[in-house]
A and B are shown apart, each in its own frame.
Chain A
Amino acid sequence: MFDASTDGPSFEAFWDRSLRDGWTRRSDPAVAALHFDVSQVPSSVPATSRALGTLVLIGYPTVALLDGRQAFNPWLLELPDPVTKVTWESGASVSPATARVLGVSDGDLIRIAPARDAEWASKATADDLTVEVPIVVQPGQHDDVIAVPIGYGQRATQRFAGIGPRWLGADTSDRARVGANIAPLLARARPGEGVAPTPVRVTVVGRRRELARTQDHSWLQASGRDAWGTEASGALIRFAEAGTAPRPTQSETEPGGPDLWPDERQQLGPRWGMAIDLDACTGCSACVVACQVENNTPVVGRDEVRRHREMHWLRIDRYYLERPSGVAVAHQPMTCHQCGHAPCETVCPVLATTRSSDGLNQQIYSRCVGTRYCMNNCPFKVRRFNWFDYAHDERMENLVLNPDVTVRSRGVAEKCTFCVQRIQDARLAARLRGEEPADGDIVPACAQTCAASAITFGDLNDPHSRVRARTGDGRAYTLLEGLNLQPAITYLAMQRRDRSPDDDVDGN
């Protein structure tokens, strides 16, 4: 464990540090040497499946639970899957066409049983191996495949299944395990092949199990607009050709037209901002968990997520786009845009949300009375509300809380702060040195965790900051420009790789 070359010369110092931190760093040379060999990936759909008239079951490891080793972490159980956006559930994904054939829609329970001719399952055991899971209709999926995550349904997840506030209307039917375990159904794989595709029989149960899903509406037109064309101006997701010219300077792109109010503010200090590269974002959702851990965001449980009350300050919107080549998926991390003209601030009657001198839209929990007007008026719907007292008095649970962040009480609104505790820490440290924090000194939890470095954070007023440079990028755009919100988050458009003449004209 102790390696003098990386951990320093003193074992004592290493030991103390490890005890204090609760973790140690280990580098594994074997990991670095791994490489990906596409030719070794087995064909997921056997050619025989159509002939058999059955579906092929594929068990896949989810980003959150992997093979199930993370199944005892409520943070991860509540993390929406990057594509299906389902939480607290092992839903069976089928293609829209297959769903039509089966006559099912999202949340309809189906029973999966081994196909009759499965050589490893005798007729006697077939019924014991049946698994009931709800349907998740998944655009872009192969019509013959039914995909269910593995690692769910473990016995010890019982104590998480019913997490959430207890009240009259709470769904108490759900005290079994989290999800269903499909491992017994899966055909034994040949050594080195991982989990093999298995032919299965599917029957419709006729009951429903409402999915706890964080996003229900997902279709955008090819231009990045949604099906109704609602956004005020420009597309939500934009695409750029490679080598797009740099953007004109900020002042020229400011929306035209007279402002009702003269802008009298003199912003002398920093204005914190963020640039998010949609091209780099894989939707892996590590940032979502990082944010939740950093900011003491409660886990609210399946029933509350089903009621659309998940508390994640940062979410990743997933949109489907119809492409000639098939269904494309775009991920868009979405959090408080710290607007310069914040609609939430204007409508709060008690001044519980105001603008700080460094350009943050700050929420003052102790002042909030909970009118929820700010949430209604937020065009990005990134504000969250403490519908119940989600915080617990459990000593053990409270050990995971970040002491730098307030635990919010019942009845107040909350939202992303750009990790203001880290900003203040860095500024204080810099001030003690007699200087201002350098670019890159401040890293919010999401940016710190992003493996793809898709998130850049810094001072928009600093002409030399990296974030400022990215806002001048040719791919840079902001959301809902027509509303003149002056957001502090800039997105970098996706580079289009699959462009064909049939594709619609882009919104950018």
Chain B
Amino acid sequence: MSMATDPPARMPEASASSEQGALTRAMTDLGGAALGRPLRGWWACFAVAVLALAVGVVAVTYQLRTGIGTWGLNRSVGWAYDITNFVFWIGVGHAGTLISAILLLFRQRWRAGVSRAAETMTIIAIVCAAIFPVIHLGRPWLMLWVLPLPNSRGPLWVNFSSPLTWDVFAILTYFVVSLLFWYLGLLPDFASLSHAATGWRRRVFGLLSLGWNGSLRTWARYERTCLLLAGLATALVISVHSVVSFDFAASLVPGWHTTIFPPYFVVGAIFSGMAMVLALLVVMRRAMALQSYVTLQQLDAMCKIMLATSGLLGLAYLIETMTALYGNHGPDRFMLMLRMQGPLAAYYWAMIACNVLVPQLLWSGRVRRNRPLVFAIALLALAGMWLERFLIIVGSLQRDFLPSGWVDYLPTRIEVATLVGSFGLFLVCFLLFCRWLPVVSIAESRAGHRTRLRVADR
């Protein structure tokens, strides 16, 4: 296709028509930051995040140089903060996939305003998570050995019976599909931004838009692709955290070897993910003046999902307790008593409070509308879910079959710094996203606007 022969006649400026006004407003509201509009308080947040990241980078560098012994692990507790953080971050990522995939399939319109932020959070959370299985290796420089690559050692492949190998494939797939989904969602926005921008931004956004021209043929194909990917991502919401839970369920450590883990982990993942999305959106909404895009109804709906998953988690905890008491099976009862009264009992009761008791406040509509309170509940939920994973991993490893192997575990400063660093990385990436990309899908908010118009027409 060649350029138009006539110089394009300048279109009359946007009329007073409300539809067009809304379209332009979406562009300026959401694309503003990407086009260079300064964000209030951004630099302060970014500085804090970079500091946290720097702490983590120093700790990890030191650990990689010196050895994994700089962590508090020992002969019985082979995993602690590392895998706890890994499972925690992977779980946090699940909310994005849930919102963009499952809620898309269920035609939950409210997801439009929050899906971009949630999907971005997913990608960043997967990156934060994937760091830990790499740095937790004794010899991280050999990490590619977990892939079945042709090699110079003869036909030496990988062990496909190992849940860790399953993990590698699950996480890779999850990352690729999430990235694809996220990028496809950004395509029309890149085109819009490129159109509205000038200078180098126009070039870069143009390059990223892959030549998107808004053709309705492409749009139709695009919607179909998104629907297919949503279906696939739905399978991932269920499968990825199930596979992660196999790391534990497929082992024979008492406290790990439990059939309830896959659903239990998936529910927990969605719970913690929703908490993270809520915490981020409550802040973003205010800091970036997104009140007309991220509405109170949307926050309300997410609070309800949190409440529901909190209930499911409570049920899972209850079932664990019931099975142990009812089954009268030594190891099960032992693990139960250990959790409730053992060296980590304080963690257990804190977890119950954060994950089950506190979220019950969300039954009240007044609480759900109280944004600072929702923010606090979300943070507590995140802490509770981290504790849950820590309890499962460390609590079980430090008391297994032979009492002679029972030892306690204390983290070192290096480990704590690594956790801080992972939050730093998450915030740095997320703040960069807020600064450079539209935090609410421009295209979807336009489509949403159209829907509202139609409803009004009727």
Interface residues in chain A, defined as those with a beta carbon under 8 Å from any beta carbon in chain B: 165, 167-169, 215-220, 226-232, 236, 304, 307-310, 315, 317-319, 332, 334, 343, 345-351, 367-373, 375-377, 379-381, 383-389, 410-413, 480, 483
Interface centre among A304, A307, A319, A381 (most CB of B within 10 A): A381
Contact between chains at A385 and B78 (CB < 8 Å): yes
Question: Within 8 Å CB of A413, what residues of B?
Answer: 138
Contact between chains at B403 and A230 (CB < 8 Å): yes
26 contacts between A and B (CB under 8 A): A165-B66, A168-B66, A168-B413, A168-B414, A169-B412, A218-B403, A218-B404, A220-B403, A307-B72, A307-B74, A308-B407, A346-B162, A347-B162, A347-B163, A347-B164, A348-B159, A349-B165, A350-B159, A367-B145, A371-B133, A373-B162, A373-B251, A379-B402, A386-B67, A410-B138, A412-B138
Contact between chains at B78 and A217 (CB < 8 Å): no
Q: Compute how far the CA of A441 lies from the CA of B241 in the bound complex, rounded to whole angstroms.
A: 52
Question: Within 8 Å CB of A348, what residues of B?
Answer: 159, 162, 164
Question: Within 8 Å CB of A373, what residues of B?
Answer: 78-79, 162, 164, 247, 251
Say how far B298's CB is from chain A's closest CB, in angstroms: 41
List the one stretch of B39-47, B393-401, B423-431 in contact with chain A.
B393-401
Contact between chains at A387 and B69 (CB < 8 Å): yes
For B158, give its contact among A217, A218, A351, A379 (CB under 8 Å).
A351
Q: A350-B159, A387-B69 are in contact. Are A376 and B79 (CB under 8 A)?
A: yes
Contact between chains at B78 and A375 (CB < 8 Å): yes
Q: Compute how far the CA of A371 lies from the CA of B146 in the bound complex, rounded to whole angstroms.
A: 10
Interface residues in chain B, defined as those with a beta carbon under 8 Å from any beta carbon in chain A: 62, 66-70, 72-76, 78-79, 133, 136-140, 142-143, 145-146, 156-159, 161-165, 168, 247, 250-254, 330-331, 334, 337-338, 397, 399-408, 412-414
Contact between chains at A232 and B414 (CB < 8 Å): no
Q: Compute how far the CA of A358 lies from the CA of B404 in the bound complex, rounded to whole angstroms.
A: 29
Contact between chains at B139 and A370 (CB < 8 Å): yes
Q: A334-B404, A343-B252, A375-B75 are in contact. Are A410 and B139 (CB under 8 A)?
A: yes
Contact between chains at A372 and B78 (CB < 8 Å): yes
Q: A347-B163, A371-B164 are in contact. Are A232 and B67 (CB under 8 A)?
A: no
Say how far A126's CB is from chain B's closest CB, in angstroms: 39
Least CB separation from B162: chain A residue = A349
Q: Compute how far the CA of A375 lies from the CA of B161 in the bound complex, rounded to whole angstroms.
A: 17
Contact between chains at B69 and A388 (CB < 8 Å): yes
Least CB separation from B156: chain A residue = A351
Contact between chains at A219 and B403 (CB < 8 Å): yes
Q: Compute how far the CA of A42 lies from the CA of B449 in the bound complex, rounded to whole angstroms.
A: 99
Question: Within 8 Å CB of A386, what residues of B?
Answer: 67, 138
For A165, give its contact among B69, B133, B247 (CB under 8 Å).
B69
Q: Compute how far the CA of A480 lies from the CA of B400 in the bound complex, rounded to whole angstroms.
A: 12
Say how far A77's CB is from chain B's closest CB, in angstroms: 19
Question: Within 8 Å CB of B137, what residues of A?
Answer: 369-371, 411
Contact between chains at A349 and B139 (CB < 8 Å): no
Q: Compute how far the CA of A229 lies from the CA of B334 in the bound complex, rounded to whole angstroms.
A: 7
Say how far A300's CB is from chain B's closest CB, in angstroms: 9
Question: Within 8 Å CB of B62, what residues of A?
Answer: 168
Contact between chains at A349 and B67 (CB < 8 Å): no
Question: Within 8 Å CB of A350, what residues of B?
Answer: 145-146, 158-159
Question: Within 8 Å CB of B334, what residues of A?
Answer: 228-230
Contact between chains at A385 and B252 (CB < 8 Å): no
For B138, give its contact among A167, A370, A380 (CB under 8 Å).
A370
What 15 additional pairs, Cβ within 8 angstroms, besides A230-B400, A377-B251? A165-B66, A167-B67, A168-B66, A168-B413, A219-B403, A308-B74, A318-B404, A332-B404, A343-B251, A347-B162, A367-B156, A369-B139, A369-B142, A384-B75, A412-B138
Q: Compute how far the CA of A231 lies from the CA of B399 in the bound complex, rounded to whole angstroms.
A: 11
Number of A-B contacts (CB under 8 A): 187
Q: Compute how far the CA of A165 lies from the CA of B414 in the bound complex, rounded to whole angstroms.
A: 16
Say how far B438's CB is from chain A's closest CB, in angstroms: 40
Say how far A85's CB is from chain B's closest CB, in angstroms: 9
Least CB separation from B406: chain A residue = A217
Least CB separation from B248: chain A residue = A376
The 4 closest A-B pairs by CB, nearest first: A370-B138, A411-B138, A387-B69, A372-B78
Question: Within 8 Å CB of A376, what residues of B?
Answer: 78-79, 251, 253, 397
Contact between chains at A372 and B401 (CB < 8 Å): no
Contact between chains at B400 and A411 (CB < 8 Å): no
Interface centre among B66, B76, B133 (most CB of A within 10 A): B66
Least CB separation from B247: chain A residue = A373
Q: Compute how far the CA of A219 lies from the CA of B163 in the bound complex, rounded to whole angstroms.
A: 34
Say how far A415's CB is from chain B's closest CB, in angstroms: 11
Q: Compute how far the CA of A410 lies from the CA of B146 in the bound complex, rounded to whole angstroms.
A: 18
Q: Compute how far the CA of A116 lies from the CA of B338 in the bound complex, rounded to whole angstroms.
A: 47
Contact between chains at A317 and B401 (CB < 8 Å): no
Question: Within 8 Å CB of B161, what residues of A?
Answer: 346-347
Question: Within 8 Å CB of A385, what residues of B?
Answer: 68, 73, 75, 78, 138
Question: Within 8 Å CB of B406, what residues of A?
Answer: 216-217
Q: Compute how far the CA of A276 lies from the CA of B74 in the bound complex, rounded to whole angstroms.
A: 27
Say how far B133's CB is from chain A's closest CB, in angstroms: 8
Question: Within 8 Å CB of B330, what residues of A?
Answer: 228-231
Contact between chains at B252 and A410 (CB < 8 Å): no
Question: Within 8 Å CB of A310, what residues of B?
Answer: 75
Interface centre among A215, A218, A370, A480 (most CB of B within 10 A): A370
Contact between chains at A483 and B70 (CB < 8 Å): no
Contact between chains at B251 and A232 (CB < 8 Å): no
Q: Compute how far the CA of A227 lies from the CA of B247 in the bound complex, rounded to whole angstroms.
A: 28
Q: Compute how far the CA of A413 lies from the CA of B247 in the bound complex, rounded to whole angstroms.
A: 19
Q: A230-B331, A350-B158 are in contact. Are A167 and B402 (CB under 8 A)?
A: no
Question: Within 8 Å CB of B69, what residues of A?
Answer: 165, 167, 304, 309, 387-388
Question: Within 8 Å CB of A410, what residues of B?
Answer: 67, 138-139
Contact between chains at B139 and A368 (CB < 8 Å): yes
Q: Compute how far the CA of A308 lies from the CA of B164 in the bound complex, rounded to whole angstroms.
A: 25
Say how far B81's CB is from chain A's closest CB, in angstroms: 13
Q: Compute how far the CA of A226 lies from the CA of B133 in the bound complex, rounded to whole angstroms.
A: 34
Contact between chains at B401 and A379 (CB < 8 Å): yes
Q: A347-B162, A373-B164 are in contact. Are A230 and B74 (CB under 8 A)?
A: no
Q: A232-B401, A350-B158 are in contact. Are A381 and B138 (CB under 8 A)?
A: no
Contact between chains at A372 and B403 (CB < 8 Å): no
Q: Compute how far the CA of A349 lies from the CA of B401 in the bound complex, rounded to whole angstroms.
A: 24
Least CB separation from B407: chain A residue = A308
Q: A334-B404, A369-B139 are in contact. Are A309 and B331 (CB under 8 A)?
A: no
Question: Within 8 Å CB of B157, what residues of A?
Answer: 351
Q: A215-B404, A369-B146, A376-B253 are in contact. Are A349 and B75 (CB under 8 A)?
A: no
Contact between chains at B331 and A232 (CB < 8 Å): yes
Least CB separation from A373: chain B residue = B164
Contact between chains at A381 and B75 (CB < 8 Å): yes
Contact between chains at A217 and B404 (CB < 8 Å): yes
Contact between chains at A169 and B68 (CB < 8 Å): no
